[in-house]
Structure 1
Amino acid sequence: MRILIGTDTYPPTVNGAAQFTRRLAHGLAARGHQIHLACPSPTGAPGRMIDEAGVVVHRFRSFRYAGYQDFPVALPAGLRATAGQLLDDAGPDAVHVQSGFFLGRALLVEARRRGIGIVATNHLMPANVLDHLPCPQALRPAMATALWRDLRRVYLQADAVTSPTRRAVDLMYANTGIDGLAVSNGIDLDRYRRIPRVMSGGPVVLFVGRLDPEKHLEDAITAMALLPDDVPGRLEIVGAGSARAGWERLAGDLDLDPDRVRFLGKLPDDELLEAYGRASVFAMPGTAELQSLVTLEAMATGMPVVAADAMALPHLVHDGENGFLYRPGDATALAGRLATLLGDAGLRHRMAEEGRRIVAPHGIEHTLDTFEGLYRQVRRLTPLSSRTTGRQPAGRVADRQASDRPSRPAAMAELIAMPPAVSAR
């Protein structure tokens, strides 16, 4: 099939949605599909290139938003016309958008006009957006509602809608009335299972991710300051972002030894894998995780996880089985959980093995199988004649009343029996 993937965030931008989209595109290309990918340009200038996996990457003209310099945004002026021209030139069998922002919205609307089957995946949590807007705390609930309503307007035009976990699907339904299918973002399990476990110099607590406010690393840093002196271990923080300077100041204010908390910055892939390999425990204090690819990676590597009891993290971290959950913001509780694990190598090993069992259904091959099935279904729902005359959305996820959850559309119902690329619990 010829698939056009549209995303408002793509490497070199670092976040889970960007990483997932690249893995999806490369995985589909490896299966013999013709993949076109549309994304904002990291330089601002438009361009076209074929990457190492054979994916045709179309970079759209972009600008940098002052509140989030690490995130290039597709320039709205003329965007729909450019998106429409790309659709006409590429002639995809299906379009898969990863967001309802400027570029994803333009591709979705223009694909609908042309009668092309559409799959839409939601990676959005309002906190991901609002933390980078000059929005007073008192207005955040209203702004979050507005963001969900906007997503509803856009995604109601799709033939099928997905999100990475059952919790994410339920959240989307509660806020938009749109049902969906839980499809794990998936990871290359073998890549992380093969990482050598080389632990020396004492146990390591690892965090990997964007250093942005919704990750709440203040919990982990404060927890390290609360650990008893006789508990060994250091915190290694991998990533870059807008909140790094503030968290470095916090570590200094808490008089933490530089060896107790290390900010390593953004690492190349080989060094990132080494960081996973030397870590004993993974910490994820974020409260806006619709799945958390890095948590999946840590589990596959063989680490217990201590995570905030928030959003989709409890789907991966089963308290007392493959790690521990703690109440967000309770650094004392986090410190206690870390102390338990740092002081008990046997417990770490048992929890790590259970984590590997839990992460097993999240292999990228299951994810690719499921999306291939969706593309075939939405393609079948698109008669050739409608590709020139336009059509009403056929088989899309229907609007629902909260008290009356209808059956899934045909495009999604036929996939329920497929390999379970879904949340673990």
Structure 2
Amino acid sequence: MKIAIVISFFPPDRIAGAELGAYFMARELARMGHDVHVIVTRRGGMPLGKERRDGFTIHWLPFIDIPGLRFVGELFFGALAIADIRPDLIHGQCLLPGGFLAALMGLLLRRPSIMYLYGQDVTHVKPHFRVTFGWFAVRYCCHVMAQAKHTCEVAMRTYSGRPIEVFYSGIDLSRFRIPERDYRGELKLPADGVNVLFVGRFLDIKNIDVLLDAVAQVRNDAGDINLLLIGTGDIEAALHAQAVRLGITDIVYFLGTVPNSEIARYFASADIFVLPSRSESFGLVNVEAMAMGLPVISTTVMGIPEVVEDGVNGYLVPPGKVVPLAEKIRALAKDAGLRRRFAKANREKAARYDWCEIVPELERRYRLLAAAGPYASRVTGRTSGVRKII
């Protein structure tokens, strides 16, 4: 089957949940023998043209970086690329422009289409886009999936109850194996004490400032504790200044950007993982930490509670609240037995989120849609057999 996956960004230009998801889908589908084409509408710093990678083809399209023309350009060049490829099925990764292009070109080329919603593409879309392009994408894609129940519920409320399937995203589990040796010395990380780890972009919504405040509160009564921060972003300078102001520069390590191929070693060098975000569609980085056997502390927002169960495999705290976060860090830092219990539960739960197991289920939906015909469900909102197997 010739499959087109349409997305705005793609690794290495951007590495986030939707982008990594598109990569692993493409890789695994190619390994299964499909002719996979990833159409990238915003190539960023990547060279224009085609690239072969891991058995699939990436199409880096022209991008008009002019306000007012960006989205129009994405639709124009994206439509041309899809028409040139003439795939058997079109997969839109995220609502816009991927989902809209999948729906539109599916109609024009008489091909089945599928859209995968990730969360913030639904909750953060501009109102005038939501009621026009977004409405069209949800109504006219043959099948719509969401990577979390929260995203599914929001999308169904927003788009008048159109049936949407919850289809959880995943990780490359083979990259997250607990090593037999300690990497702390090799990575020049603290060898003593409890290492608390954060991994992500340094953005306001990540609430890293709240994490710094919480660590400052517990440093004197939770034993030896260190905070490892992996990432970069707009607020990095402000975070450095905050660490100085709190007097915790001796226990806070700003580690910068770490390649994906190396990140597992840092997980292996930590004892607790914290993701204190106030907005997080699903939080796949929590799953990565779980796969490495780390107890997780995260927040009660959006799709996170679907992965982290409070008191079972980690703790959940209200976003933006320093005291509850400090209390949970303190509790885990002082109780190695509790960390081991959460770690065991996390290793077992993370095994459910392996792309090698998820993509065959995705392919099964592709085949059902292909068999159902190009107009299955577009007007009725039904999914012509796909939901019958779920």
Taking structure 2 as the reference length, what is the TM-score of the superposition?
Answer: 0.89
Once residues 301 and 175 of structure 2 are traced to their aligned partners in structure 1, the CA distance between those partners, rounded to angstroms, is: 28
Quick check: 1:7 aligned with 2:7?
yes
Quick check: 1:157 aligned with 2:169?
no
Once residues 334 and 9 of structure 1 are traced to their aligned partners in structure 2, the CA distance between those partners, rounded to angstroms, is: 33
Choose the corresponding residue for 1:207, options 185, 195, 198.
198
Gapped regions of structure 1 (runs ≥ 5): 67-72, 131-142, 384-392, 400-407, 417-425
Alpha-carbon distance, 1:108 to partner: 3.5
Alpha-carbon distance, 1:146 to partner: 4.8
> Which residue is 1:49 aligned to?
51
Q: Partner of 1:288: helix, strand, or coil?
A: coil
Choose the corresponding residue for 1:120, options 115, 118, 133.
115
> Which residue is 1:19 aligned to?
20
Residue pair 1:169, 1:182 contacting (<8 A) in 2 also = yes
Quick check: 1:415 aligned with 2:389?
yes
> Which residue is 1:69 aligned to?
none
Change (3 A) 1:166 1:195: farther
> Which residue is 1:254 aligned to?
246
> Which residue is 1:38 aligned to?
39
1:367-414 Cα distance to aligned partner (Å, 9 max, x none): 20221011112212226xxxxxxxxx4224855xxxxxxxx5224313
> Which residue is 1:245 aligned to?
237
Alpha-carbon distance, 1:241 to partner: 2.1
Alpha-carbon distance, 1:228 to partner: 4.0
Q: Partner of 1:169: helix, strand, or coil?
A: helix
Letter in 2 for 1:395: S
Letter in 2 for 1:415: I
Once residues 306 and 244 of structure 1 are traced to their aligned partners in structure 2, the CA distance between those partners, rounded to angstroms, is: 22
> Which residue is 1:133 aligned to?
none
Q: Partner of 2:103: helix, strand, or coil?
A: helix
Alpha-carbon distance, 1:314 to partner: 0.9
Q: Partner of 1:156: helix, strand, or coil?
A: helix
Taking structure 1 as the reference length, what is the TM-score of the superposition?
Answer: 0.82
Letter in 2 for 1:414: K
Alpha-carbon distance, 1:37 to partner: 0.4
Quick check: 1:174 aligned with 2:149?
no
1:316-371 Cα distance to aligned partner (Å, 9 max, x none): 11111111111111111101100110111111001110112222221212320221
Quick check: 1:285 aligned with 2:279?
no
Once residues 324 and 64 of structure 1 are traced to their aligned partners in structure 2, the CA distance between those partners, rounded to angstroms, is: 43
Quick check: 1:394 aligned with 2:379?
no
Change (3 A) 1:128 1:280: farther
> Which residue is 1:363 aligned to?
354
> Among the aligned pairs, what percent are the same residue?
26
Once residues 66 and 241 of structure 2 are traced to their aligned partners in structure 1, the CA distance between those partners, rounded to angstroms, is: 25
Quick check: 1:101 aligned with 2:118?
no
Alpha-carbon distance, 1:287 to partner: 2.7
With 4-13 and 170-179 compared, the bigger mean Cα shift is at 170-179
Once residues 171 and 148 of structure 2 are traced to their aligned partners in structure 1, the CA distance between those partners, rounded to angstroms, is: 14
Q: Partner of 1:56: helix, strand, or coil?
A: strand
Structure 1 vs Structure 2 CA RMSD: 2.5
Once residues 328 and 197 of structure 1 are traced to their aligned partners in structure 2, the CA distance between those partners, rounded to angstroms, is: 35
Residue pair 2:148, 2:303 contacting (<8 A) in 1 also = yes
Residue pair 2:90, 2:111 contacting (<8 A) in 1 also = yes
Letter in 1 for 2:91: H
Residue pair 2:332, 2:338 contacting (<8 A) in 1 also = yes
Equivalent pairs, count? 378
1:180-237 Cα distance to aligned partner (Å, 9 max, x none): 1111111122331344462632211111112222212122111111114142211111
Change (3 A) 1:307 1:81: closer
Q: Partner of 2:280: helix, strand, or coil?
A: coil
Gapped regions of structure 2 (runs ≥ 5): 185-190
Quick check: 1:28 aligned with 2:29?
yes
> Which residue is 1:322 aligned to?
313
Residue pair 1:373, 1:415 contacting (<8 A) in 2 also = no
Change (3 A) 1:128 1:246: farther
Q: Partner of 2:39: helix, strand, or coil?
A: strand
Alpha-carbon distance, 1:35 to partner: 0.5
> Which residue is 2:60 aligned to?
59
Q: Partner of 1:28: helix, strand, or coil?
A: helix
> Which residue is 1:222 aligned to?
213
Once residues 346 and 304 of structure 1 are traced to their aligned partners in structure 2, the CA distance between those partners, rounded to angstroms, is: 11
Change (3 A) 1:103 1:165: closer
